Amino acid sequence: MNIGLIGSGGREHALCQKLFESKISKKIFCFPGNAGTAHIAKNIDINILNFKNVLNHIKENKIDLVIVGPEEPLVKGIVDFLSKNKVKVFGPNKFASKLEGSKAFMKNLCKQNNIPTADYQVCKNIAHVSNFVKKNKFPIVVKADGLAAGKGVTICKTKSKVFKISKQIFGGKFKSSKTLVLEEFLEGEEASYFLIVDKNNFKFFGTAQDHKRVRENDKGPNTGGMGAYSPAPIVDENIEKKIINKIVRPTLNALKKKKKPYKGFLYVGLMIKKNEPYLIEFNVRMGDPECQVILPRLKSDLLKIIKNTVSDKLKVTPINWKKNKCMTVVLCSKGYPGKYLKNKIIKNINKIKLKKNETIFHAGTRLQNNAVFSNGGRVLNFTSSGENFLNVRKNILRLIKKLNWKSGFFRKDIGWRIINK
């Protein structure tokens, strides 16, 4: 099969690697890809939001199946567009993608279907914000309604901070929406639960724990993710049953009732509080960097799983997992998540010799005259697996030290919750 993979981040490099390993993949085309995917696929440098241009390249390269990695094209309806043009595509439709594309849509769906989540109010003006602030204790969570690349959530400890952030969102800080959601602050332990879903069935697709804050000890602003590990031990059998029965089934059934059934990867972002799961967010794709720690643990052929999901044959498709532990640490450009350094050469990357259980997934990189340059805030994902998280992390930090990239920074405490227990 010829495969088209849409996206350019660390998640897409991890997906590309697994597709490359598949027994049924022939050629892989990445739109636009990065310096890492260039070694195992053909990168096609185009704007992925120009759907007509994407379709032309799909036809030109005789692509049999398209897999959509990032959220923005999904939310803007690429699956609907390609499906109308008789292209087989893996990912949710535009309506179902509102689970991630609109926090207000997601929270209202929770309310209508008794899905456990934090108390909230959808706000379109300062009067709405004042109303919620009067009735609730601090801290209060402010969330931009639309897509914000992982940077649209702020935990506010004061009234002045709530109003400051709210005014920024109302003023158009995030182009996707001028609406926001205010939420009560839930204290507990975060976890990410993943599923793969077809029209009629769903199956477990891993657990992970992400680290959103930019600095060690979970300090500083939110990011797209500074590192992750899998599996997440907090999601035991008892918690998993509650996630399925209280969150997953009601959500998928609600979409079926609207005749917009979900299909694709589904990321369930959770807060576990006193052994009860609360929904924090949905993502309508694999998480990044969670994908980079889940896929290395997958034993089964990823492409066969996706192909069968597109054909609604997930029920008869086996999905098997390794019993090892996996961790990734994200190397970022200095300045991220604010204004960061760009186009910095990464000299030593090809000199690092990797063992079988080690991978460097490229995220924000590009190739120029066979040299690798930084091309984003999150640049590389140093990933390793083994029998325990402490040794895995030591191994990753050793690899990063070998790279010796002066234009970057990273967190040294990824996995602190599980390692320090």
Going by pLDDT thresholds of 50, 70 and 90, the confidence category of residue 421 is low
Q: What domains sit in the chain, N to C, each tagged with a CATH number?
A: 2-91 (3.40.50.20), 119-184 (3.30.1490.20), 189-316 (3.30.470.20), 325-419 (3.90.600.10)
- Cis status of the peptide bond prior to 296, with omega within 30 of 0: no
Residue 128 has pLDDT above 90, yes or no: yes
93, 80 in Cβ contact below 8 A?
Answer: yes
177, 168 in Cβ contact below 8 A?
Answer: no
Backbone angles phi, psi at 92, to 5 degrees: -80, 155
Cα end-to-end distance, the chain, whole Å: 46
Across the chain, mean pLDDT equals 96
Summarize pLDDT for 25-64 with one digit per residue, the tens: 999 999 999 999 999 999 999 999 999 999 999 999 999 9
Q: What is the mean pLDDT of residues 359-383?
A: 96
Alpha carbon distances (Å) from 38 to 16, 29, 33, 63, 394: 10, 9, 7, 17, 29
The pTM score is 0.94
Distance (Å, whole) CA 29 – CA 39: 11
Q: What is the mean pLDDT of residues 138-145?
A: 95
Residue 149 has pLDDT above 80, yes or no: no
Residue 153 has pLDDT above 70, yes or no: yes
Residue 94 has pLDDT above 90, yes or no: yes
